[in-house]
Amino acid sequence: MHKREAAMRDHFHETATRRGFVLAPAQRAAVERLSRLAGELARPVWTFPRPPRDLYVWGPVGRGKSWLVDTFYEGLPTGRKRRLHFHDFFRRLHDGVVRPGARQDKQSAVDSALDELLGDSRVLVFDEFHAHDAGDAMLIARLFRTLLDRRITLVTTSNHPPAGLMPNPLYHHLFEPTIALIEERMDVLDVSGPVDFRRLAAAPGAGGTGFAAGLCLPVGDAGPLALGLPVPTPAEAASVPAHLRELPARAVRGDLVWFGFDVLCETPTAVPDYLALAEVFGTLVLDGLPPLAEATADGRQRFANLVDVACDRDLRLILIGSDPLTGYADDPAATRDADRTASRLALLGRADRPGGA
């Protein structure tokens, strides 16, 4: 056993002890595999005819995926390692391709942007890898080929198994070659389990901060007013800078921005817009929220992305309207999008409603 492997294993257990929790069986198996990878990475490159196998850590929200890869990353020696959130990576990749002065040839522009993002890294850690946008399928495929060519070891987390990526049946076939490459080149670690550690960490909406302090409120003035959130007046409307555009907000009140669901989810916004908002504001209010079954497919997708970003960036999210997780009937696509966000929305507090919340 390489001493770096033993040191990484100790690092995991010491970190868990400091945080006061016991590793679940699936997490312990992942710790063993990540520790072995740390030992492999510590060996001279010339001793390996091939780079160490990549790791794909997946499971539902709250199973400790991000904690596992973050702790692994922290335990690696400094230098030649890079950790990027998947949303951030693609925002920066898109920016690099379209920025003024970028190469006119699309393939060369993508390669140049990847050069800048990857640098001389030997290890790349991705959090929240997913593929829902058919437009990103080509870029993801290019990324994986580039990592293979450069012998860069990839460690990534995802809420979905590889076969569950790009779930839209209209586009799934476009991503099947990349899924096959993932399953061939990566060890897939399933950390699914019955315990949602995020729910154990704090009671939803009770004394938390950031995303944990968010709320779901019913339609009407009573809920928002009780929080000191009067409904915006027309005079409060403002244009808010997002990503390469401005978005019409209903109100901006210091660290708080207020949007309607129709503006933020039913117009062609994207993850980079939500990331830009999260960098400026600490609270985002979204009103006019319908049941997901009544939203368009694109609206459901954007709402799921918004919840992802808010949770990942610890942005307080206040939702006003219907419960988005009810009433999606027999629509499989709506059910899939609801399932994707259910665990995260369960962390938000809920105001009392007639008949229960």
More confident residue, 71 or 199: 71
Please tell me the number of Cα atoms within 13 Å of 316 on its side-chain side.
19
User: Confidence class of residue 214 from pLDDT cuts 50, 70 and 90?
Assistant: confident
* Helices assigned H by DSSP within the chain: 3-19, 25-42, 65-75, 86-98, 106-118, 137-149, 172-185, 197-201, 222-226, 261-264, 271-280, 297-312, 332-345
Report whether pLDDT(114) > 50: yes
Q: Give residue-wise pLDDT tens across range 153-209.
A: 999 998 889 998 888 788 888 889 989 989 998 999 999 866 656 555 444 444 456
DSSP code for 207: S
Check residue 223 and give its pLDDT: 61
Radius of gyration of the chain (CA): 21
Q: Is the pLDDT of residue 41 over 70?
A: yes
Q: How far apart, in whole angstroms, are the C-alpha atoms of residue 321 and residue 267?
A: 18
Work out the average pLDDT over 275-293. Answer: 90
pLDDT tens per residue across span 344-354: 776 677 654 33
pLDDT at res. 203: 42
Q: Residue 104: is its pLDDT beyond 60?
A: no
- pLDDT of residue 248 exceeding 60: yes
Going by C-alpha positions, the residue among 138, 196, 150 that lies closest to residue 54 is 150
Q: Is the pLDDT of residue 277 over 90?
A: yes
Residue with tokens 């690092």: 11
Q: How high is the pLDDT of residue 23? A: 86
Give the pLDDT of residue 269.
92
Distance of CA 253 to the CA centre of its chain: 27
Q: What is the largest CA-CA distance in the chain?
A: 68
Residue-averaged pLDDT of the chain: 81
The model's pTM is 0.68
Question: Which residues pair with residue 260 across a beta bridge?
Answer: 287
- Measured CA to CA, the distance from residue 51 to residue 229 in angstroms comes to 55
Average pLDDT score over residue span 305-327: 83
